[in-house]
Amino acid sequence: MTHTFHALPGGPLTGTLRVPGDKSISHRSIMLGAIADGVTQVTGFLEGEDALATMNAFRSMGVVMEGPDQGRVTIHGVGKHGLKAPQKNIDCGNSGTTMRLLSGLLAGQNFAVTLTGDDSLRRRPMARVTQPLAAMGAQIHAQEGGLPPLHIGATQSLQGIDYTLPVASAQVKSAVLLAGLYAMGKTAVTEPEPTRDHTERMLAAFGYPVHRAGATATVTGEGRLTGTAIEVPADISSAAFFMVGASICPGSDITLTAVGVNPTRTGIIHILTLMGADITLQNARLAGGEPVADIHVRYAPLHGIAVPEELVALAIDEFPVLFVAAANARGQTRVSGAAELRVKESDRIQVMADGLSLLGVRATPTADGMIIEGARAYGGGTINSHGDHRIAMSFAMAALCATGPITILDCANVATSFPGFDDLARQAGLRISAS
């Protein structure tokens, strides 16, 4: 396991790269393939620890899977009602997606299960998932403060609800919809602003009826899933590090191939373009119901902006590296409406502000975002990533424009989403080593 990154100044980033498969889609391919009738073939699967935690969870419930082998997984589905009680607690590792989506899918099963995880995951709030599931009749209980482990009791049937999300969250939306597969009547989820719609798209790919009207997605418990072929595109959240790195480092010119460009995930592209980035999409196509394109990025001087709040939910996972872009942009960048960042693998607002400030960037955290004064020279230093994979990779890219080396501690969890990050970064031109 890699625990420390050592990144030296300089670049540029060049070449053609393929980042790992989309984590969100990889999770869902296992979950839906497991409860489908028949065989599902997955290609491009992300062999990172988070997605593997989801795979191990379903293996513990009797689902036979072959792989992963170079991104290929064969899932022998057991049908909607074919899961079996696991012999022990399900360990979700560091994966909030695994825990939240499994909560919904397991809420309507006829057996009891406990979901737990590592120290970081056990500090992440789950009440916003457990509350709507309990309203559907689920026997689900968290610890004090709404924290994991989560205990889910056997349930004979759930009742569909009409639920409006208080805060935009694809994970909560997906948990309620997955519970709706086991509920009587209709389950409708309305979101205050768009979030990633991979669950809805993939349910449709498995032949399960999903009705979408405006901001509302609706399912019933009457459908069934049929095994299919799922092609997982490259993850735009992983591509984001190289998009920002190329945008801030003079002389950079990279192409990121076969990246998922689902419109509910392209906030990173829109925000960087508003800042002046030179980004073009090429070879646009559909893969397994998901839009895919090659992303070409060349260096261009960036300028600060007030990030439109309607783009925040579409780029929530990419803000750590967007803060690095802001540090290298001329003028001030303001981010608001991003309070969700405080309850990720770390408090990403505070951790990024602390790290940027240590390097010499004027970064002021706010309750729901940050104000960054960019384009000042910043130095090197030692950064504590607090075990957050996106923090670690963001500061690695910050080294491209630093005046001294940046050492990044506690990087083991990079493997949760981007196995081989340092190798690919070196291939592209980043002067990085690991120990």
Spatial CA neighbour of 256 closest among 298, 283, 296: 296
Catalytic status, residue 317:
yes
Q: Is the dihedral of CA 256, 262, 268, 272 positive or negative?
A: positive
Out of 317, 388, 410, 422, the active site residue is 317
* Contact predicate 23/95, CB 8 Å: no
Cα gap 158→136, rounded to integer Å: 5
Spatial CA neighbour of 28 closest among 56, 3, 55: 55
The helix (run of H) or strand (run of E) holding residue 221 is none
Cα gap 250→156, rounded to integer Å: 61
∠367-372-373 over CA atoms, to 5°?
Answer: 150
DSSP sequence for 230-283: EEPPBPHHHHHHHHHHHHHSTT-EEEEEEEE--TTTTHHHHHHHHTT-EEEEEE
DSSP sequence for 381-424: EEEE-TT-HHHHHHHHHHGGG-SS-EEEE--GGGGGT-TTHHHH
Q: Residue 313 has what DSSP assignment?
A: G
Task: Tally the residues of the chain.
Answer: 435
Catalytic residue annotation: 317
